[in-house]
């Protein structure tokens, strides 16, 4: 999986952001039947918006949002 190192840290700690294609791939893996779209919101590769619409979720709920967040955290 591709990672982005922005080189922002000079003290040894590195800030690593997940890339848009990785976000999309992880979302598609977790929800293969879903409509998935990812957009680079700021054009900098560090700020993405993702829309994941699984067929299993007919309404927005905290549990559906939690499932999407958990899929990203567990695999990224």
| Local confidence pLDDT in tens for the 76 residues of the chain | 444 454 444 455 665 678 899 999 999 998 888 899 999 999 988 889 999 887 766 555 667 677 777 877 776 5
User: CB of 13 within 8 A of CB of 28?
Assistant: no
Strand partners, 52: 36
pTM for the full predicted model: 0.54
3-state DSSP of the chain: CCEEECCCCCCCCCCEEECHHHHHHHHHHHCCCCEEEEEECCCCCCCEEEEEECCCCCCCCHHHHHHHHHHHHHHC
Report pLDDT for 2. 43
Report pLDDT for 25. 93
Report pLDDT for 40. 93
């Amino acid at each position: 999986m591709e990672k982005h190192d922005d080189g922002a840290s000079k003290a040894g700690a590195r800030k690593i952001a997940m890339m848009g294609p990785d976000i999309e791939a992880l979302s598609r893996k977790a929800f293969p039947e879903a409509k998935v779209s990812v957009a680079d919101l700021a054009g900098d590769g560090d700020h993405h918006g993702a829309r994941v619409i699984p067929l299993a979720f007919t309404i927005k709920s905290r549990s559906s949002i939690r499932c999407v967040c958990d899929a990203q955290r567990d695999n990224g």
